[in-house]
Amino acid sequence: MNLKLRETIVEHVLANLAVIPSTFVSFDKSKSLKSKEFLLSDKISFIAIDEKVVENKLWGCQFSADQQDLKILLADCSTDYDTPEYAAVIHLKSQPMYGIYTLFDPDINQEALIAVSLNGKDWLECSTYLQATFLAGMENIKELGFPWVKCSDYKEELAALLSFIKFHSNVYGDSNEG
């Protein structure tokens, strides 16, 4: 599996959503998924290194086209303010869910992950082919330019996001989920 390619795809997708800094996305012209407009009332909890519980923000956006809903939930998984971590679940109704995760620190090896789930509970790391398919789908979404609205009725995606974060923890040996 090409780890550098996986890191690049995750960074590219999160940059296109204006979540992480990028040289090719203008934050002045792009609406960030992390904007107040998409901030959800739910929080996500983690146990920090100092054993304190950290409650972080959760954002969600969606659009509908041709009776298909696409929902994206983004969680701030950071337990250290110097090293941002993000997890997201992307779900097109009646299709598999994709999860992406990054520990964003350009100076260290990242913990980028792209996984797929048919049921939102059981996750599998994506092969290079599935990573490319995911990237192509995200590029198509960007090019369509549909207007995003704040997520509603995201219970299924939130459960999948929590499951995906646990999957990431199992893959990378973390134990900070709360």
- At residue 24, the pLDDT reads 64
Q: Where are the domains of the chain?
A: 3-170
Nearest CA among 75, 37, 70 for reference residue 146? 70
- Cα–Cα distance measured from residue 64 to residue 17, given in angstroms and rounded to the nearest whole number: 17
| Structure token digits, residue 58 | 């959760």
- At residue 143, the pLDDT reads 77
Q: Phi and psi dihedrals of 138, rounded to 5? A: -65, -35
Residue 113 amino acid letter: L
- Cα–Cα distance measured from residue 166 to residue 75, given in angstroms and rounded to the nearest whole number: 13
120-138 burial code (b ≥16 CB/10 A, e <16): beebeebeeebbeebbebb
Q: Phi and psi dihedrals of 168, rounded to 5? A: -60, -45
Question: Digits of tens for pLDDT over the chain (178 positions)?
Answer: 678 889 889 988 998 888 887 666 555 556 788 999 999 999 999 887 778 888 999 999 998 877 788 999 999 998 877 788 999 999 998 899 999 999 876 666 567 999 999 999 999 999 999 999 999 989 888 777 778 899 989 999 999 999 999 999 898 876 555 4
